Amino acid sequence: MAIGVHDWGDMKSLTVQVITGRWFVIFASFLIMSAAGATYMFGLYSSDIKETLGYDQSTLDLLSFFKDFGSNVGILAGLINEISPPWVVLAIGAILNFFGYFMIWLSITKKIARPHVWQMCLYICIGANSQSFANTGSLVTCVKNFPESRGAVLGILKGYLGLSGAIITQLYSAIYYNDSKALILLIGWLPAAISFAFLRTIRYIKPVRQVNELKVFYNFLYISLALAGFLLVIIIIEKSSSFTQGGFGLSAAVVIFLLFLPLAVVFIEENKIWQSKKLALVDPSPVQIVTEANNNLSSTTSAVSVSVPKKDPKWWEDVFNPPARGEDYTILQALFSIDMLILFVACICGIGGSLTAVDNLGQIGTSLRYPKKSISTFVSLVSIWNYLGRVFSGFVSEYFLTKYRFPRPLMLSLTLFVSCVGHLLIAFDVPQGLYVASVIIGFCFGAQWPLLFAIISELFGLKYYATLYNFGSITSPIGLYVLNVAITGHLYDKEAEKQLEALGKQRIEGQELNCVGVDCFKLSFIIIAAATFFGAVVNLILVARTRKFYKGDIYKRYREEAEMVEVKNVGKTEEGDKVGSSIGMR
């Protein structure tokens, strides 16, 4: 049967609706996030760097610091995002990603002269900095497109970022098999290619209220849980049996299928919106009811805007005269607020400690005499539980906030208290405790990020969120430098040198320093546990300060703005109908 012109027109119209809709922006962001987590895979490729270039643990920890400094200092990305569309930010990020990791790959494959330590720090900092550009370009855009579901948005997108380590590992095994150095090449070109593919897709779209919005995010959540579950099962199977490259190829195909499955949800939702638009053009009466229901709101909002004319301050004005919590703070108003200071201290202690554990898992496992196969399992466990922590804190905090007015800062404090247990398990080398510690620390590390970014958006508004989001990320490298480079790396090398002296040996220049035994990391993780506990207690001050704010309806202003957009759209539809009717009468 031939397809009529009308059918082709409908198909084209629906395709345009899908590709240009808000939900397709979310899907594109899933793919960008699922390839943007190279920094979380440092434990897999750090040994290649250490062995090839002959680094000691302090030098490797210094490299780790610059990796996390680059990935979390995205102030430049935030400021660029304030004055340019998201595609500019994504394009810059893609270029930085490829350059940084490609130079590292050239270094460890000895295709270029052996670089100085400062050059390697620069390369990994540039490569990792691309993550902040990817985050800013896609995640910040999605939060602004879905302001009433920001917890779910942050949770699901940060969840895909947390899973990216396990996702890329599957793709790497299918493409390169046992060539571990090629992993660095893969994380150089793949994220850049995906970002370039969706440059024009990621953009701001004026939010319109959708009754089932949160339900759609739950559908995305179920698909991502299936992906995480599959990755966990396949990782266990791969560790317990020998996989051929064909086997890895099959598992990678399933991963790719699950990555693209959210596109079905996007199509269903955009089809509903498209059908409702068609219905509104044919019979505007159902829409008319919405207009009448919103009449009071429209007139009230208009009255407020007329009677209280308000001039938006520039980002550098009224630094010490901030608006009420939840309103749009300027950049400096937010940075100089006590609330932000408390949040910074808490997350420097909490995220810095958790990231120290994540980055040193390989060395911790070796020093505590775990088998090499178990060490790679720890990295995979952290990746999976990192994901679960992110989606849990995003969705559960959103649910408790909406239903019970449970404040997000309190959930952040609870997360920090729990992570102390994981640090102590490492410090005292509890039998098989590193498996449990990997789960606890991975979960808590993941949970802290959506909570931090959601709290910033709620307390300080969305107007300058791109910049404030990236200021929040600075907590990670600060905490990592103090707890990892200055404390953990220093104490590890000190213990390693002590063991060499006990054997009557001296360290040769360029020789790798290795430490074995519980004392290698014991004191470091006792200090980290104490710092994390301190951060959790400090954050309770923020809980007390914001208690009244979180008891109110924090999404009211965004709901009213979205309803005003609906009213305007209805007015345009009705006007079009009147014009159409008059033409028909003629």
Per-residue pLDDT at 362:
79
Q: What percent of the chain shows pLDDT beyond 70? A: 85
Per-residue pLDDT at 290:
41
Which domains are delineated in the chain?
Answer: 19-267+321-577 (1.20.1250.20)
Per-residue pLDDT at 566:
55
* CA distances from residue 234 to 32, 180, 185, 566 in whole angstroms, order as listed: 23, 19, 23, 46
Alpha helices in 177-212 (DSSP H): 182-197
Contact between 60 and 187 (Cβ < 8 Å): no
In the predicted model, what is the mean pLDDT of residues 162-178? 83
Q: DSSP letters of 536-548? A: HHHHHHHHHHTHH
Cβ contacts of 443 within 8 Å, gap of 6 or more: 385, 386, 388, 389, 392, 418
Residue 503 DSSP symbol: T
Contact between 65 and 522 (Cβ < 8 Å): no
Contact between 146 and 139 (Cβ < 8 Å): no
Per-residue pLDDT at 279:
74
Per-residue pLDDT at 432:
84
Give the residue with greater pLDDT, 8 vs 61.
61
Cβ contacts of 339 within 8 Å, gap of 6 or more: 325, 459, 542, 545, 546
Strand stretches in 148-273, DSSP E: none
Tokens in use for 92? 């810059």
Q: 19: exposed, middle or buried (C-beta count within 10 Å: 0-12, 13-18, 19+)?
A: middle
d(CA 108, CA 126): 17
Give the residue with greater pLDDT, 562 vs 122.
122
Per-residue pLDDT at 410:
95
Q: 146: exposed, middle or buried (C-beta count within 10 Å: 0-12, 13-18, 19+)?
A: buried
Contact between 345 and 542 (Cβ < 8 Å): no
**Whether residue 238 has pLDDT greater than 50:** yes
Q: 369: exposed, middle or buried (C-beta count within 10 Å: 0-12, 13-18, 19+)?
A: exposed
User: For 317-327, how does the pLDDT look when each residue is reduced to its tens digit (9 = 90+)?
Assistant: 677 788 888 88
d(CA 502, CA 333): 56
d(CA 210, CA 83): 29
Per-residue pLDDT at 567:
54
Confidence of residue 565 (pLDDT cuts 50, 70, 90): low
Q: Highest mean pLDDT range out of 14-28, 125-139, 288-302, 525-539?
A: 525-539
Give the residue with greater pLDDT, 258 vs 286.
258
Matching residue, tokens 């969305």: 462
d(CA 14, CA 437): 49
**Whether residue 158 has pLDDT greater than 80:** yes
* CA distances from residue 445 to 285, 287, 358, 418, 429 in whole angstroms, order as listed: 50, 45, 9, 10, 20
Indicate the average pLDDT of the chain.
Answer: 82
Q: How many CB atoms lie within 10 A of CB 196?
A: 14
| 236-245, 429-438, 486-495: segment of lowest average pLDDT | 236-245
* CA distances from residue 582 to 39, 279, 305, 572 in whole angstroms, order as listed: 62, 20, 34, 16
Q: Highest mean pLDDT range out of 482-486, 529-533, 576-580?
A: 529-533
Tokens in use for 30? 């899933």
User: For 447-467, how does the pLDDT look when each residue is reduced to its tens digit (9 = 90+)?
Assistant: 999 999 999 999 998 888 988
H helices then E strands: how many in the chain? 26, 0
Tokens in use for 21? 């809709």
Contact between 426 and 525 (Cβ < 8 Å): yes
In the predicted model, what is the mean pLDDT of residues 341-360? 92
Per-residue pLDDT at 302:
40
Nearest to 331 by CA among 309, 314, 345: 314
In the predicted model, what is the mean pLDDT of residues 534-539? 96
Spell out the SS3 assignment of 393-436.
Answer: HHHHHHHHHHHHCCCHHHHHHHHHHHHHHHHHHHHCCCCCHHHH
Give the residue with greater pLDDT, 73 vs 346.
346
SS3 at position 515: coil
3-state helix, strand, coil in the chain (%, to 5): 80, 0, 20
Q: DSSP letters of 336-353? A: TSHHHHHHHHHHHHHHHH
Confidence of residue 386 (pLDDT cuts 50, 70, 90): confident
Q: 585: exposed, middle or buried (C-beta count within 10 Å: 0-12, 13-18, 19+)?
A: exposed
